[in-house]
Amino acid sequence: MKTFLLFAVQTMLSVSVFAQKQDISIDTDQKELQEVFDWAKQKARSFVVTGTRGPVNVYKKNQSADIASYQPAYWAGYPLRTAFYSRDFCHQAVGAHLLGLEEENFTMLRAFAASATKERKWFPLWAINFDGSPYTLDYRNDDDFVREIPAVFELVEKNAQLYDWTKDQRYLNDAALLLFNTKAVSDFVALHDIKKPNGVAESEGSGNIFKGTATYNEHRDQTLIEAGDGIGSQYQAYLAFAKLLRLTGKRSQAQAYNKKAKVLWNYFNTEWGVKNNKELYNRGYDKNNLPVSGWGKENSWFLPLKEITDQRSNRHLNYLDYIDAQLGSKEGLPENIEAITYVPELFFKYGQNERGWKWLKYIISKINTVHAMATLTGTNGDYPEVSFVLISNVVQDMMGINPGAKGNSLETCSHLPQDIERVKVSNVKIGGAMYTVNQQGISGTTLSYSGGEATQYWQAGFPGSHPYLYVNGIKKKSHIGQKNGFTYSYIEVKIGRDRQYTVATQL
């Protein structure tokens, strides 16, 4: 059936119906953060299309379009385009999980995995309609479709992350995911390592997105056959695949891929990333196999974001300074807000809390600004990535809440900036447990949980060197280690359901 579509995304989405999800919420002394988090929850949920019918293959206003039944999914890409995109999905998935969109995440990830075939040289589709079919704006045939190398590897990384958050066995056992993950870290790399054979996946070098590019940066200053966001994402894909293998009992294969990750990390830090570069990092290689340095936006900041840079080195610290400086310049700041949504995570990750908050505040300040592609999006806040990622920026990056290494556990390490005295988040779901976490600055954390196993394990961490921590007022010897280049102190606490625990650096 065809219909003449006057496209009004919010009108259509307002009638979307989906199962009631857990209601994550925050309570904080920072009024602006409170208001924007509440906005982000509602805005992100307005992009859910599960259980509805609507148009497919729409890419412009007033377009005639087929109508189809939508699978569990949410908007991930320009709101004018009736599809979800691999890059956007990867960046939105943790926020979506925190909002309770577990079936949507699995369905969308599996759709990308199943779209990667031998005929497509194991590239997944770049964009997929909400009914699961190829989005024809970005797909013409198996030799002519949009593809960008980092997305292949980020999908593998996201598989492992979503398993950590959900403990959903489908992420370990689904046949389409198993095949895609295996091919992504093996055959895909081999098929795309021809011009510069060094174990790094590369593009064919034309810069044409329908032939494949090495980088997410489509506003590039030159063509790269290998790029920083590609090699960084490949490194994380090896680690993720090793984790998935270990979780399914394949220990020897897991060790082999951990070794591959280590070899790639060493190669980057001794040659690829530093060749002919005395101070900072190369961000790619050109068609003549020459290193390219300077500012490349995604292919620059993805290097530390994916943890392939040596966190112990001055070069790494200088590069974080360089990224902040470039973003602070008129020439270096991306016009599209969705690119900047990666930046708070980057700085919070490395304990640079004030910078993380600075860039999160910048994003918040631009929510009502007209988007760089206003004809496709409207305001910045209408771009789905902004609201979804804001949720994960607050909970995962700033509050430092993550699944733990064990099956029924979590880790916390606050990255609250000086402007914020406290943030309490309720209904954070990890596996079968629902947690409430209250961060008091960077010196105290209170936690409780309901559901899940009767016993959970909590690794309570704090920036800095604290030989002792206080668990419900009792002094305990702590462990001191290094995490993403900064010193932190932590203690493991065995916790029971429906009880409250507080760990602090002092009484």
Boundaries of every domain in the chain: 148-333, 409-504
CA-CA distances (angstroms) from residue 360 to 29, 392, 394, 454? 17, 11, 9, 37
Residue 406 pLDDT level (bands cut at 50, 70, 90): confident
Torsion on CA atoms 113, 203, 304, 88, rounded to nearest 10: -40
The residue behind tokens 């530390």 is: 304
Q: What single-letter DSSP state applies at residue 461?
A: E
- Higher pLDDT, residue 221 or 35: 35
The 10s digit of each residue's pLDDT in 306-345 is 999 999 999 999 999 999 999 999 999 999 999 999 999 9
Tokens representing 130? Answer: 């909400």
Domains 148-333 and 409-504 share a fold: no
Find the mean pLDDT for residues 482-506: 95
pTM above 0.85, yes or no: yes
Question: What DSSP assignment string belongs to 302-333?
Answer: HHHHTT-S-TTSHHHHHHHHHHHHHHTSTTTS
Q: What single-letter DSSP state applies at residue 247?
A: H
Q: Is 20 a residue whose pLDDT tops 50? A: no
Contacts of 160 (CB under 8 A, 6+ apart): 171, 239, 240, 241, 243, 244
Q: Is 382 a residue whose pLDDT tops 50? A: yes
Q: Please report how many Cα atoms fall inside a 13 Å half-sphere around the Cα of residue 284, on the Cβ side.
A: 34
Q: Which CATH class is domain 409-504?
A: mainly beta
The 10s digit of each residue's pLDDT in 340-364 is 999 999 999 999 999 999 999 999 9
Instruction: Supply the angle between the helices 102-115 and 86-98 in degrees, to the nearest 10.
Output: 160
Tokens representing 505? Answer: 């650096």
CATH fold label, 148-333: Glycosyltransferase (1.50.10)
